[in-house]
Amino acid sequence: MARIFPICSSSSGNATFVGTRGHGIIVDAGCSFRSLKNSLELIDTSMSQIEALFITHEHIDHIKGLLQLTKHTKIPVFASPGTIQQLRTSVKELIPEEVRLYDIIHEPYQSADFEVRAFHTSHDTPESVGYHITYCGRRYAVCTDLGKITPEVEKNVVGCEAVLLESNYDPAMLAKNLNYPAYLKQRIAGDKGHLSNNAAAEFAGKLIDSGTTKLILGHLSRENNTPATAERCVTEYLRGRGMRLNSDYTLDVAPVMTQGRYIAV
């Protein structure tokens, strides 16, 4: 049985392990290579036991450790064609040409234990994606960095047993944030920005209706949200739908940096 282990999750860095102790895959490498390595050791897993790395898009909070990871390991790296192009041409720390980047859109990943396919997300990048992961017949999803829930997102995430879902910002906190200029607020709240707590709550209701039993709220803004605010928004909305916490579903908030435990089974 696979589990979800958020290594880091915030506007500063994102990386998620999916698997069992000693074996799995990683989605994104948004913290340093050393942090990735040390965090995996907390669950008795080494880099040599990682099958593959899947990148959602090229923003630095998702690829910070990628260059060092490609230098120190032979872990295959998968991303969308649009992201691959950006990694080759526009990212400050370019990935060496000899490192092959695999097209996850046209070459879905399959191994003895995992099947991984990508779905497009609405974000301000050429081709950002989320991931639908199947492990021994059980389905999981990692879905962050999206301004809205599109039909493609819904098709790929609805029905998954466990979902790491973006709950990036509280609209009231964002509106009152004096450190953010108007254009940045508009970007965050736009259709190609990030998912609000309210939107995450609404989608969570659809997920639970479809059979999802384990939710992890992730990619919380450290300036425009708090774990307590996000959790309260989602649980209150679901309670209004007659859905009971720890009975119909479980809910966790991914930490900024891992606390060394799996938080979804």
Q: CATH number, domain at 38?
A: 3.60.15.10
Is 260 a domain residue? no
Phi-psi region of 198 (alpha: psi -120 to 50; beta: other; left: phi over 0): alpha
Spatial contact of 60 and 84, defined as CB atoms under 8 Å apart? no
**Number of domain units in the chain:** 1
Is 31 a domain residue? yes
Span 24-37, average pLDDT:
97
Please check the confidence at residue 182 and state whether its pLDDT lies above 70: yes
Q: What is the pLDDT of residues 41-85, one digit of tens each?
A: 999 999 999 999 999 999 999 999 999 999 999 999 999 999 999
Spatial contact of 257 and 246, defined as CB atoms under 8 Å apart? no
Which residues partner with 168 through β-bridges?
A: none
Mean pLDDT of the chain: 95
Is 264 a domain residue? no
- What pLDDT does 165 receive? 98
Is 131 a domain residue? yes
Q: What is the pLDDT of residues 107-117, one digit of tens each?
A: 999 999 999 99
Residue 92 sits in which domain range? 3-253
Residues 6+ apart with CB under 8 A from 146: 121, 122, 123, 128, 130, 153, 166, 194, 195
Is 258 a domain residue? no
Is 165 a domain residue? yes
β-pairing verdict for 23-27 and 101-103: unpaired
Please check the confidence at residue 94 and state whether its pLDDT lies above 70: yes
Is 138 a domain residue? yes
Is 151 a domain residue? yes
Spatial contact of 219 and 9, defined as CB atoms under 8 Å apart? yes
Q: What is the pLDDT of residues 144-180, one digit of tens each?
A: 999 999 999 999 999 999 999 999 999 999 999 999 9
CA distance 85 to 87: 5
